[in-house]
Structure 1
């Protein structure tokens, strides 16, 4: 089962503001393995398959003045197979890229940062029938990744030729400054369901019983401020709805809850309570 197609609501694209566009393109293509779809002096669209943009890089208007902003905690690239995760692990290690890793039970993941400090997760899901549910709550942990087992077939880093074509944006994890406000916006407004909550620190949300399509945490502090538009970091991320009717119902619900939405023609823009910009589109209406 794919959790990133109709009838799910899911993130399919992240747009980042970066300090140096040329250097960021080099990092994301040579280190991560993206392909450039197109680029200008101001922005570049990147893909795994050479056609479908899942990451946009935009030349920033402002640098960060501190690291205590709301915004992106990490974007998460979902690979098709465990063999793909093993190969990119060897590729990154051979290029001396600092890596973290974890076994979350529902998935196995690598963690790293880009040259601007934006978080990146690269992961593979375990079969959904192996996930453990306690009612509506999915069992997720953070344990040591069994690297020896992952790399048991000794993949050759020279075999890495880029991200697999079927790589997608698996989820988006955000810094917010108030978990309760985030929960109201994403659950009551956007229609997600809570699938895991760690005290008052982090919230994991999804549709169609995925382990999470969107997550939020307050690890940058409840006093974290929203950065100016155009600051290095998250520009926006995009959510895809199954059809226009469900999108219209969502917009109406957001407005009834006093969240402002703007019809931009190709998408609806909304900003969450922590200042994170979101573009809402319906299936087959993505740019």
Structure 2
């Protein structure tokens, strides 16, 4: 576990830039199962529990839709459900919509994959009990991409009603296309303080976390090394949020960023930092 970042560090809302807010709202409420929390001109907050925003959508004027695996930025964001039964209910619902569903049994978790109308990747998953997660001789988690037990998951939903994503749903992790694994490792691990929990660099990916989680952030070069940074009007990630448990732990991270010569912006009371691939992280406390 990291001796730098707090064990109870979490992720907060993901903000996405979309080309058509009305279309995206319909997708995220009717297909994904989030609920509208608040809407203003050109922007909407979505929630699972009616209180906490999980996904924020911002419509971009004259938006340029980013093709999949074409630029640095979002590969997918991952919505963590509180139970396997909730994943089964979601799978049954998604099958009924006719949307294309990818899936993987990662050993530490079971995951479904869909894509929104602007090609933003979405993972919806549930974790296996932490005491079943296995590590290799290097101390890294053993993960895979095996087929899920589709029939077993759907059977959990039998006789039960799907009412959208349940309370207890959170943003579990986020996965980025980056320009370089080496520069990303230096930024996320050497400066921010995340631990490497699975090194798949031979396959172009790295998985990092705090507190022994199987991963809070995935990093990959599957859009190509030195993938272009998308223009401001492109659809995709606006920012991801890292939530610190207290001001002291956030201050320690800000000090490390300052010592590394990395600028931290402050606007409307929020601090944010940009990684070497142009990806913005908002740094907040609970």
The TM-score normalised by the length of structure 2 is 0.93
User: Unpaired segments of 5 or more residues in structure 2?
Assistant: 1-5
| Equivalence for 2:179 | 177
| Equivalence for 1:105 | 107
1:33 to 1:136, Cα distance in 2 relative to 1, 3 A:
same
264-273 or 36-45, larger mean C-alpha shift: 264-273
CA contact (8 A) 1:262 1:270 kept: yes
- Structure 2 SS opposite 1:97: coil
1:66 to 1:153, Cα distance in 2 relative to 1, 3 A:
closer
Deviation at 1:136, TM superposition (A): 3.0
Deviation at 1:258, TM superposition (A): 2.0
User: Unpaired segments of 5 or more residues in structure 1?
Assistant: 1-5
- Structure 2 SS opposite 1:30: helix
Residue from 73, 76, 99 that aligns with 2:75: 73
Residue from 229, 246, 270 that aligns with 1:243: 246
Deviation at 1:127, TM superposition (A): 0.1
CA distance in 2, matches of 1:202, 1:101: 18
Q: What's the RMSD between the two structures over aligned residues? A: 1.5
> How many pairs does the alignment contain?
277
CA distance in 2, matches of 1:197, 1:212: 11
| Equivalence for 1:36 | 36
1:241 to 1:136, Cα distance in 2 relative to 1, 3 A:
farther
CA contact (8 A) 1:269 1:277 kept: yes
Deviation at 1:10, TM superposition (A): 2.3
| Equivalence for 2:116 | 114
CA distance in 2, matches of 1:256, 1:193: 19
CA contact (8 A) 1:36 1:46 kept: yes
Q: Deviations over 1:159-180 (max 9, x none)?
A: 1111101111010001101000
- Structure 2 SS opposite 1:137: coil
1:154 to 1:256, Cα distance in 2 relative to 1, 3 A:
closer
| Equivalence for 1:209 | 212
CA contact (8 A) 1:90 1:156 kept: no
Residue from 163, 187, 190 that aligns with 2:189: 187
| Equivalence for 1:140 | 143
The TM-score normalised by the length of structure 1 is 0.92
1:52 to 1:154, Cα distance in 2 relative to 1, 3 A:
closer
Q: Deviations over 1:187-231 (max 9, x none)?
A: 011111000011241010000100001111000001311112242
Deviation at 1:265, TM superposition (A): 4.9
